[in-house]
Amino acid sequence: MARPTKDPVEYLQVKYMMHLIACKEHLPLSGYALERFFEPENVKPRQYAELTYDSGKWRRFLHQGVSPGTKSFSRIQEKAGYALKYLSSPIWDALETKLKDAAAFDALYRRLDKDTQNEVNNFIAMAHRVDDRADRKNFPLQRLIRKGDEHAMAALFGLFRQFNHHVFIHDIVETALYNVIFNFICRFCPFTFYSELYHFLFQNFFHTESKRLRASPWPESPEVIQYMIWIETKNMMLAEDIGLIDNLTSHEEFYFWKNRANKHLVIREMAGIYEEPNFSGLSPTSSKGLRWIVKKINKQRPSENQLSIASLMHSYNW
């Protein structure tokens, strides 16, 4: 009997793990470097030459997504065990390319944490009631965006696929997914893997022909994709530098409020503080700029760790 065909996402998982390890361990992105790190005994000198050769299997892991064998896997457990938890992330279940029926979607949602399961169930229960789908603070999809972790993204991908043939509901889920996907990619992936993950998503899910209420929002140009992810990365790093993101305010929380604010104004004002320690061009709270977003973020922080505009400016008042 022939061996069952592997789903393409299984190859993607392995390649993702190789990129992650190379990034975390500061290794060159090559099979040779990975093999030298994990199995140095395989790297041997060539006879009559000042060159070395390796088995080539780590190149297959990196470039083809071939699953590591027992020995290689044990070395990963020993030297880079942190990478293995990403192999069991529910995001990979959500990205399986095979068609899913109702039972498969139920199984996917049961893998998610309880809070995410509740949001999924709430959305499914209200999805066919048009009057309850307004974009409001307590809308289930908004709470998934605010949560923003792998479980929330797996839920959004699951709903995106589950309602693929319901034009109106699919449009709502697609909008929510589009609003968070580029930010998620720049948080979830090593930078060397951004394009490959998006290309996989585009080819298998976003590029599929389906009835739409409007034109597809998904970019295809590699230049556009790289620019959008670069912008998200730059904005998060800027928020970290001025102190908006710290151990009490997550990237997901900042991103959620930035998108509900006047985000272009917020970014201009963050850049102003970064570049000018005594920046005086901040807009009033009513303009939903930086003052507004600080007020919203403070509601989730302890009273003794409240942010202020003065404290943000102090970070660069050298």
Give the burial class of 117: count Cβ atoms within 10 A of its Cβ; 0-12 exposed, 13-18 middle, 19 or more buried.
Answer: middle
Residue-level pLDDT at 213: 75
How much is the pLDDT for 279? Answer: 79
238 close to 274: Cβ distance less than 8 angstroms = yes
Least confident residue range of 17-31, 63-77, 210-224, 293-307: 210-224
Q: Which residue in 67, 61, 59, 58 sits closest to 39, CA to CA?
A: 58
In whole angstroms, what is the distance from residue 143 CA to residue 146 CA? 5
The per-residue pLDDT for range 242-286, each reduced to its tens digit, is: 888 988 888 899 999 998 899 899 999 998 888 887 777 788 888
Question: Mean pLDDT across the chain, nearest whole number?
Answer: 87
pLDDT-derived band at 50 (thresholds 50, 70, 90) equals low
Mind listing the pLDDT tens digit for each residue in 220-239? Answer: 888 898 899 999 999 999 99
